[in-house]
Amino acid sequence: MSKLDSLKSIRQLHQAYESGEWTPTAVTQHFLDQARPNRLNAWITLCEQRALNQASLAEEVLKLNGGKVPRATHPLLGVPMGIKDNLAVEGVRMTCASRMLESYIAPYSATVVERLESAGAITLGKLNLDEFAMGGSNENSAFGRVLHPTHPDRIPGGSSGGSAAAVAAGECLVALGSDTGGSIRLPASYCGVFGVKPTYGRVSRSGLVAFASSLDQVGPLARSLDDAAQVLAVISGHDPLESTSLGLPPIAGMGEAEMKGLRVGVPQELSWLGAAPSVREAMESCVEALRSAGAEVIPVSLPRVKHSIAVYYVVAVSEASSNLSRFDGVRYGSRSPHAVSARSLEEFHSVNRSLFGAEVKRRILLGTFSLSSGYSDEYFLRAAKVRALIADDLDSALSSVDCILSPVAPTPAFRAGEKTKDPLEMYLNDLYTVPANLAGIPALSLPWSRDADGLSIGVQLMGRSGADDQLLSIARSFGRVRGEDLV
């Protein structure tokens, strides 16, 4: 099984199934063996028996099809995957990395999980995250921080840190994450894998525990762009169970984008001058490579995008405070053992809600404040208005260019503990990623280079709303420029 360690893509896996070299059960066993020791603390729950049952079903499907993978009905047959632990998998614990949901068993599966499993994918288990997806470093998990796959003293990024670390370390082939302000793209960049946040509404949120409903999107993390595209093709498309689901067809996958004449926008205001020298170098090398491959690199102006962090941290916390109000230990959420001795309703709530960690509490307080009477016009409503202006900036820039290029994060993966004392410093890390969520446009993180310490540095591409397929095709041509076919 030694070659399984270097497995890079679904395509390669399927070839090995068809040649009879590997079987779904052997592959599932291999990945479970990699995941079980939990070296990076990427996993919160493994569902071994469930995964092995799915593997034997995959074997049946292979047998019924004469050893061939029936790509039309089971495009992800026998693909071992991990699911961020804020997405429901029927019958499996879903914690959101919170004491509040420590023993909660999901009664149904998220639409995305259902679609992946019907396509033949195998759910290995649930992946660690920042509590309720609030964070960018995975240090806010009640189950402990996730380690960076190659530099264990560093953060893997968050909030989908378990997803990125597990994919990078070969503990699953693909993973699902969620992205409210960068939670797929940041860890993908830090860990050196691909991460895609689709257009808002393109992928169902049914069965995703809500953080900030107008920003949340589910998307893949993978070792190859093609794998990410294949997962997207399965999970995207209209879902009648979700009120904001768009009527668009599923994302078709990747085509070819011609680099010659491609118009790549580089935001003047979001220039990478404030970024770490290694990130600046990565961006400069990327721009140079694009130019010499014939792309036009065009400065674009996004004058209101500088307000993105301020706007995001009002909108996101306001929506979070409302979404998380349901966890009161009565209807939803755990009940604290101290609740029995509460002498008033207020004390009862306060004891139960102290099961939340510090960052979640901070956001609930901030959000409650910004929505409170007398303040909501000044904070929430004003933020909503500026959000529309930011979306306008991005939309109009994208009417004259094919995509917008920026860094994903201002630095490569930083050391654990480095930013935990100052929440604002942590929030500033989301500078490049939150604009796409505010505007609802698709964005992805593509590994571009490594710094002197071997830490991965990704670049971000943002595309037009609904043009997820085009964005993937452009990203593929970026890979070609870098000297690698990403298929």
Return residues touching ligand GLN (CB under 6 A). Answer: 133-136, 159, 179-183, 211, 316, 430
Kindly state the smallest distance separating residue 155's Cβ from ligand GLN, in Å.
12
Give whichever of 14 and 197 is closer to ligand GLN, judged by the CB atom. Answer: 197
Give whichever of 47 and 155 is closer to ligand GLN, judged by the CB atom. Answer: 155
Tell me which of 9, 84, 308, 465 is the catalytic residue: 84
State the Cα–Cα distance between residues 167 and 180, nearest whole angstrom: 20
Kindly state the smallest distance separating residue 62's Cβ from ligand GLN, in Å.
37
Catalytic status, residue 183: yes
Tell me which of 98, 109, 137, 159 is the catalytic residue: 159
Kindly state the smallest distance separating residue 134's Cβ from ligand GLN, in Å.
5
Kindly state the smallest distance separating residue 193's Cβ from ligand GLN, in Å.
16
Kindly state the smallest distance separating residue 115's Cβ from ligand GLN, in Å.
21
Give whichever of 122 and 316 is closer to ligand GLN, judged by the CB atom. Answer: 316
Give whichever of 28 and 433 is closer to ligand GLN, judged by the CB atom. Answer: 433
State the Cα–Cα distance between residues 155 and 141, nearest whole angstrom: 12
Give whichever of 41 and 180 is closer to ligand GLN, judged by the CB atom. Answer: 180
Kindly state the smallest distance separating residue 281's Cβ from ligand GLN, in Å.
24
Kindly state the smallest distance separating residue 430's Cβ from ligand GLN, in Å.
5
- HSE value, Cβ hemisphere, 13 Å, CA-based, for 299: 7
As a three-state string, the secondary structure of the chain is CHHHHHCCCHHHHHHHHHHCCCCHHHHHHHHHHHHCCCCCCCEEEECHHHHHHHHHHHHHHHHHCCCCCCCCCCCCCCCEEEEECCECCCCCECCCCCHHHCCCECCCCCHHHHHHHHCCCEEEEEECCCHHHCCCCCCCCCCCCCCCCCCCCECCCCCCHHHHHHHHCCCCCEEEEEECCCCCHHHHHHHCCEEEECCCCCECCCCECCCCCCCCEEEEEECCHHHHHHHHHHHECCCCCCCCCCCCCCCCCCCCCCCCCCEEEEECCCCHHHCCHHHHHHHHHHHHHHHHCCCEEEEECCCCHHHHHHHHHHHHHHHHHHHHHHECCCCECCCCHHHHHCCCHHHHHHHHHCCCCHHHHHHHHHHHHHHCCCCCHHHHHHHHHHHHHHHHHHHHHCCCCCEEEEECCCCCCCECCCCCCCHHHHHHCCCCCHHHHHHCCCEEEEEEEECCCCCEEEEEEECCCCCHHHHHHHHHHHHHHHCCCCC
Residue 478 burial (C-beta neighbours within 10 Å; 0-12, 13-18, 19+): buried
Which single residue brings its beta carbon nearest to ligand GLN? 183
Give whichever of 183 and 465 is closer to ligand GLN, judged by the CB atom. Answer: 183
Tell me which of 137, 160, 183, 318 is the catalytic residue: 183
Catalytic status, residue 159: yes
Give whichever of 226 and 430 is closer to ligand GLN, judged by the CB atom. Answer: 430
Kindly state the smallest distance separating residue 206's Cβ from ligand GLN, in Å.
18
Give whichever of 316 and 397 is closer to ligand GLN, judged by the CB atom. Answer: 316
Residue 3 burial (C-beta neighbours within 10 Å; 0-12, 13-18, 19+): exposed
Active site residues: 84, 159, 183
